[in-house]
Each structure stands twice: as structure tokens, then as C-alpha cells.
């Protein structure tokens, strides 16, 4: 059973229904999922965090703008009676987390950003190899199965029935990813072109086997947009850190938050 001890709730904020798991007590800690997942991606780390925090894992609404979603999440925090909050976001969820921090910097006490960069700056990295790993126009210049994987937009193993026993993805979580409507809107989401302006402590985590750490020194771009302290390191994973390396992800978050007053 995913999220043991948590409640699955649907609550309307700004006329938008938000589905989320909620558990624990203490300062509010929002865990925001990335693409193409749902709140279920946090099921391996959320229960342990709930021992010290009120943990909220919502499904995002990428059909809404980042500004709208940030306003929704702050409204949800108000609805639950929390003034201060901490946010952790993976991939797309990291950008939503940054938007929340930008809107209400006095309320956000810390950010944990997984597999994310602050903006679209690829200066000095736009050689052919970089292009072939990043951009849609080059998908079909790559070897199988890369073009097909990008066209489908989900890991191929999600379509295996049953999912391999050695997969780090939980079958229950994958069922939620494939059945939820989060990424099926007719209105495509877009990445922001502006960089965030952050003032709280930031922890940056990335996969040692992934692309972000291969092309960047990920802490440096976040230092450029932050006035608070920025720390970070790689984890033994590729991209889906809370599922590939849950123990390491949990330990990194706990260690970081233990130093946040």
C-alpha cells in the first residue's frame, strides 16, 4: 500500500480540484512531482518525512500557468492552516516550487530542487552532442529506442504487463501515472523563460547517471539566482531520484532540513 498512514483528499482551491496525499504533523512540507508522474512518485520517501513534518503531496495542474499553480498551492497551505512551508520539487515540480518561493518569499523557509535547472541558458553547451540529447528536432537523429521513447513520453517499462520485478517503479505508482489526467490536457504546458529569484536556503540534487550533471555543475546556475545558501550533490540515479535512490534522497533531504531553523 502506498503512503501508509496518509489520507487521500480532493479539495477545491480557486475553483480547481486538487488531489493530494496528506500525513504527519509539524511544518508543512510540500512534495511536488515531475513529468510524467503524479504525487505517487514520492511514496518511498514521504512516510519517513511525515515523522517530523506535515507532508503534502499534490497532483499538479500543468494546464495552468506557474503563477496560477503557485497561487493555488499557497491557498491550499492557507486552507490547511499553515503560514510557513518548505517545498521539494522534481523536474517540473521544481519550477512550480520556485514560483511559490518567488511569490511569497517570507513564507517559504527552504527549497529542495531535484533534477532541475533555473532557466533555459545553454551557453557554451550548444554543440551537436548536446543538441542530440536535448531537443525535439533531433529526436529522430538518434538511435533506437530514443526517438520512440520521446514520442511516447513515458518510460517504456511502464507499458510492460507486469512490470519487471527488478524495476524501481512500483506497479501501484505506475498504475496511478497511467490512469491520472495530470498530463493529458489539451492545453500544453510551457517552460518559463525567466529565471527565479530565490532568497531561502536551497538544496540541489541530481542523478550521477543523468544528463544534468553531465552537462552542468548544477549548483552553479542556482547560485546565480539565489541570495540564500545553495548546496547540493549527485545521487546514484539517473532522473527519478525518489524512486531510483529513495534512501539517498531521503537522507539528503533530512540532513538539509535538520539545519533549517
- What does the pLDDT look like over 15-65, one tens digit per residue? 999 999 999 999 999 999 999 999 999 999 999 999 999 999 999 999 999
**What pLDDT score does 157 carry?**
87
Domains of the chain with CATH codes: 7-120+169-257 (3.40.50.1820)
Which long-range contacts link 184-193 to residues 24+ away (Cβ below 8 Å)? 185/62, 185/63, 186/63, 187/63, 189/62, 189/63, 189/92, 191/95, 191/120, 192/66, 192/95, 192/99, 192/119, 193/119, 193/120
Task: Give the residue with greater pLDDT, 251 vs 142.
Answer: 251
Categorize the per-residue pLDDT at 191 as very low, low, confident or very high, splitting at 50, 70 and 90.
low
Checking phi first, is residue 26 left (phi over 0); if not, alpha (psi -120 to 50) or beta? left
| 241 close to 205: Cβ distance less than 8 angstroms | yes
DSSP 8-state secondary structure symbol assigned to residue 84 = S
Q: Could you tell me if 117 and 221 are in contact, meaning their C-beta atoms sit under 8 angstroms apart? A: yes
The rounded distance, in Å, linking the Cα atoms of 100 and 97 is: 5
- pLDDT band for position 161 (50/70/90)? confident
Helix 66-79 to helix 92-103 angle (10° resolution) is 70
Question: If 0-12 CB within 10 Å is exposed, 13-18 middle and 19+ buried, where does residue 48 land?
Answer: middle
Q: What is the pLDDT of residue 139?
A: 55
Q: Is 108 helix (H, G, I), strand (E, B) or coil?
A: strand
Which of 74-78, 106-110, 117-121 comes out lowest in average pLDDT? 117-121
Q: What is the pLDDT of residue 98?
A: 96
pTM to 2 decimals? 0.90
Q: Choose among 113, 134, 118, 97: nearest CA to 214.
A: 134
Band (216; pLDDT cuts 50, 70, 90): confident
Average pLDDT, the chain: 89
Q: What are the tens digits of pLDDT across the range 81-102?
A: 999 999 999 999 999 999 999 9
Phi, psi of 114 (to 5 degrees): -110, 130
Euclidean distance between CA atoms 244 and 238, whole angstroms: 8
pLDDT higher than 60, residue 149: no
- How confident is the model at residue 188, as a pLDDT? 67
Residue 210: count other Cβ atoms within 10 Å of its Cβ: 19
Q: Which residues touch 201 (CB under 8 Å, ≥6 apart)?
A: 109, 110, 111, 228, 229, 230, 231, 256, 259, 260
Amino acid at each position: 500500500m502506498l503512503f501508509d498512514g496518509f489520507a487521500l483528499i480532493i479539495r477545491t482551491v480557486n475553483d480547481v480540484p486538487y488531489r493530494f496525499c496528506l500525513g504527519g504533523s509539524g511544518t508543512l512540507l510540500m512534495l511536488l512531482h515531475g513529468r510524467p508522474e503524479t504525487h505517487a512518485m514520492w511514496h518511498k520517501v514521504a512516510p519517513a518525512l511525515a515523522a517530523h513534518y506535515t507532508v503534502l503531496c499534490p497532483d499538479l495542474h500543468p494546464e495552468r500557468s506557474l503563477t496560477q499553480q503557485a497561487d493555488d498551492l499557497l491557498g491550499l497551505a492557507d486552507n490547511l492552516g499553515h503560514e510557513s512551508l518548505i517545498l521539494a520539487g522534481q523536474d517540473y515540480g521544481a519550477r512550480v516550487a520556485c514560483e511559490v518561493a518567488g511569490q511569497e518569499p517570507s513564507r517559504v523557509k527552504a527549497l529542495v530542487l531535484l533534477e532541475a535547472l533555473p532557466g533555459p541558458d545553454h551557453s557554451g553547451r550548444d554543440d551537436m552532442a548536446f543538441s542530440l540529447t536535448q531537443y525535439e528536432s533531433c529526436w529522430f537523429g538518434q538511435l533506437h529506442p530514443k526517438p520512440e521513447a520521446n514520442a511516447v513520453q513515458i518510460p517504456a517499462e511502464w507499458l510492460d504487463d507486469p512490470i519487471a520485478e527488478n524495476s524501481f517503479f512500483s506497479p501501484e505508482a505506475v498504475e496511478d501515472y497511467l490512469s491520472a489526467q495530470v498530463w493529458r490536457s489539451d492545453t500544453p504546458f510551457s517552460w518559463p523563460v525567466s529565471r527565479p529569484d530565490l532568497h531561502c536556503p536551497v538544496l540541489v540534487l541530481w542523478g550521477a547517471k543523468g544528463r544534468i550533471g553531465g552537462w552542468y555543475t548544477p549548483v552553479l546556475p542556482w547560485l546565480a539566482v539565489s541570495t540564500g545558501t545553495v548546496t547540493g550533490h549527485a545521487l546514484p540515479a539517473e532522473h527519478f531520484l525518489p524512486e531510483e535512490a529513495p534512501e539517498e534522497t531521503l537522507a539528503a533531504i533530512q540532513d538539509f532540513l535538520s539545519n533549517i531553523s
